[in-house]
Amino acid sequence: MKRIVLTAAFAALGSASALAADLPARTYAKAQAAPAYNWSGWYGGLNAGWVGGSGSVSNDASIVSTNTAPENAEAMARGATNNTTGTSSGFIGGGQFGYNYQFSHLFVAGFEADIQGLSGAHKQSSSVTPLLDFNGNIASVVTNSTTTRDLSYLGTLRARVGVLVVPSFLLYATGGLAYGGVKSDTTIAQSVTNTDNPPPSTLTSGSFSGTRVGYVVGGGGEWMLSSNWSAKLEYLHYDLGSATYATGGLANNLEQASLQGSGTAAVATSSKVRFNDNIVRVGVNYHFN
């Protein structure tokens, strides 16, 4: 009897072993690693945004000839001398390329160059200067000045240094060289009103164009969207200095006018324009790593 029980037990054990051998091997789920972002390498992309600010424009006038009543030339000079700081705005867009080097899990440094196209901006001002006419009544010297600032292009070459707030987000500061093709035009119109026989209205203009070199500073944030694509939001302030140029002269022959004095009153005019603005833009980059 005991022999029969042992035989049955060994037979059952053998069947269990055979069944276990036929079952599939147990698999263990491996924890998925977080994606690793490598910021090192070359990149290039496109950007677009807003450009504007309160760049200053100033017009100046000096007396070159007066008549027997010098207040005529003085009123003309005061009217043609003004400062304008109105806000301008426009569109900016272009492309950039650069290189990053990630030298730790926290810090990234590199350089970036870009080239941009911009829209122009203009500033307009007017003034009224009182003046006595021949009969002792108060006349007015009315002056209208219009200045246009235009950058045909703007380029920068900048260093970038940043810290990785998280592995996929870079917060950076940037600064370096800025250069651009600039142009400015000024037109000054002047007339005498509130008198019976005013002199003819006068008009003068001048312009400046050239390549200017200055500086640019700013900062921004860049998000790594995948191993090859990133998006950025950036602020820059550029300053290409100022330019002063002659804008001609204004003259009134008072022989036939109902203003005090006789002879010709004349002033020479000039404009000083500063080429500086602020840029806020967004962009995308493709990383070649």
Q: Is residue 8 part of a domain?
A: no
Q: How far apart are CA 42 and CA 104, in angstroms?
A: 17
CA distance 43 to 101: 11
CB-CB contact of 168 with 142 (8 Å): no
Domain extent at residue 133: 42-287
Would you say how long the chain is, in residues?
289
Element (H, E) at 79: helix 71-79
The answer to the question of residue 33 being in a domain is: no
Q: Is the CB of residue 166 less than 8 Å from the CB of residue 206?
A: no
Question: What DSSP element (H or E) covers 81?
Answer: none
| C-alpha dist (Å) from residue 230 to 98, 190, 244 | 13, 55, 42
Residue 34 in any domain: the answer is no
**Secondary structure of residue 38 in the 3-state scheme:** coil
Q: Cα 287 to the chain's mean position, in Å? A: 25
Per-residue confidence (pLDDT) for residue 193, from 0 to 100: 87
Instruction: Give, for all 289 residues of the chain, the pLDDT tens digit.
Output: 444 433 444 344 344 444 344 544 444 444 444 457 889 999 999 999 999 887 778 899 999 988 788 888 899 999 899 887 666 778 899 999 999 999 999 999 999 999 998 766 656 667 778 877 777 778 888 998 888 888 889 999 999 999 999 999 999 999 999 999 999 899 999 998 888 888 889 999 999 999 999 999 999 999 999 989 999 999 999 999 999 999 999 998 887 788 878 888 899 999 999 899 999 999 999 999 7
* 145 domain-assigned: yes
Residue 20 lies in a domain: no
Please indicate, yes or no, if residue 225 is contained in any of the structural domains. yes
Please give the helix or strand (H or E) that residue 50 lies within, else none. strand 41-53
> What pLDDT, on the 0 to 100 scale, is given for residue 215?
98
Q: Is 262 helix (H, G, I), strand (E, B) or coil?
A: coil
Q: Is residue 31 part of a domain?
A: no
Q: Domain total for the chain?
A: 1
At 197 the pLDDT is 85
In three-state secondary structure terms, 102 is strand
In a domain? residue 6: no
CA-wise closest residue to 170 among 220, 225, 216: 220
